[in-house]
A = this chain, B = another copy of it.
Amino acid sequence: MKAAVAGASGYAGGELLRLLLAHPGLDIGTLTAGSSAGGTLGEHQPHLPALADRVIEETSPETLGGHDVVFLALPHGQSAAIANRLGPDTLIVDCGADFRLDSAADWAEFYGGPHAGTWPYGLPELPGQRAVLAAATRIAVPGCYPTSVTLGMFPAFAAGLVEPDVVVVAASGTSGAGRSPKASLLGSEVMGSVSAYGVGGTHRHTPEMTQNLSAVAGRPVTVSFTPTLAPMSRGILATCTAPAAPGLTRARLREAYQEILKDEPFVTLLPEGSWPATAMTLGANTAALQVTLDERAGRVVVVVAIDNLTKGTAGGAIQSANLALGLPEELGLPTTGVSP
């Protein structure tokens, strides 16, 4: 089967290609981009020498047609135009935000403009979602922060262990902000510094977290979300906490997480006493997770580490695509990180 990648010169596109190069079930077809079209991939992704001489084409329905799967790693708002022109025979996996949100009101508030619609949500670990994805021809890949937070908190809500008032503070590497040059993302600015941004519930990933956790909880969940930028290229460490349900014990909490996550190929509940570090997951399609109960504060605390470009974007995209294409879910996806 053949895969096209739109947005091949960016960070998400580069990670898709890195993973596809090692994927035994998918060949790499057309590569497209916007302003980089016409050049070779080697100019933009020198870490992928096997594709160095591939020419980047314009992103259009024509160049992307004729593939079994098309991965879109485009700026927000550009996916619908492409998707409308590709028939249901082509699986489309959108790494952008366009089709993630159910609520048109949330879309309008956080992204602005008309809501393009809602596609099956590419987080196979959510209850019942594997069946949905197996039948999908369109997939909305979750945002990187929502991937980490949803993986961390859905077991607690599924098992009814917490109150619906979540606080999340997450640190992200800079690749999450993309490859467009901005002064605030210069190495000189980010090295040696951790900074906050999008504070006070204004970050666009907030309604996506609320949507996911409310669906699992079966009632409205609020999320206070604060993202921070850390001096590293890759990785998200999300600290999630919510009030413990009355009577919750640490043993019951751990048991529930173990039970719910025990067959997940890409989510690791760490041994007790060990806490996640993003380095555990660098370059891997894995989430490293730990959970505890702070009895004094009466709160469940979950910490989750992922690689924002792998499990948080490109790996998650391929994992869902595998399901939709009838391939083994784990095919071609690394569970081994690159460390130190």
Within 8 A of B (CB), among A222-267: 222-224, 226, 228, 230-235, 237, 239, 241
Q: Does A294 have its Cβ within 8 Å of any Cβ on chain B? A: yes
Out of B14, B186, B234, B338, which one reaches A174, CB within 8 Å?
A: B186
In this complex, the member of A181, A194, A222, A337 whose beta carbon has the largest number of chain B beta carbons within 10 angstroms is A194
Any chain B CB within 8 A of the CB of A42?
Answer: yes
Interchain CB contact under 8 A, B199 and A335 = no
Contact size class for A? 35 or more
* Complex contacts, A179 vs chain B, CB 8 Å: 183, 186, 188
The 5 lowest CB-CB distance pairs between A and B, nearest first, are A47-B337, A195-B277, A193-B279, A169-B169, A187-B190
Q: Given the complex of chains A and B, what is the CA–CA distance between A191 and B190 in angstroms?
A: 9
Pairwise interchain contact A278-B224, C-beta atoms closer than 8 A: no
Q: Which residues of B contact A222 (CB under 8 A)?
A: 296-298
With A199-B301, A298-B222 in contact, do A241 and B167 touch (Cβ < 8 Å)? Answer: yes
Asked whether, in the complex, the Cβ of A336 is within 8 Å of the Cβ of B47, the reply is yes
A271 to B286, CA, bound (A): 35
Identical copies of this chain, number: 4
Measured CB to CB, the nearest residue on chain B to A14 is B339
Q: Which residues 271-318 of A sit at the B interface, judged by CB distance below 8 A?
A: 271, 274-284, 286, 288, 290, 292-299, 301, 303, 305
Seed contacts A42-B271, A187-B187; 16 additional CB < 8 Å A-B pairs = A21-B336, A48-B336, A49-B268, A49-B288, A185-B188, A191-B231, A192-B234, A193-B235, A195-B275, A196-B239, A196-B290, A199-B292, A199-B301, A200-B293, A200-B301, A226-B241
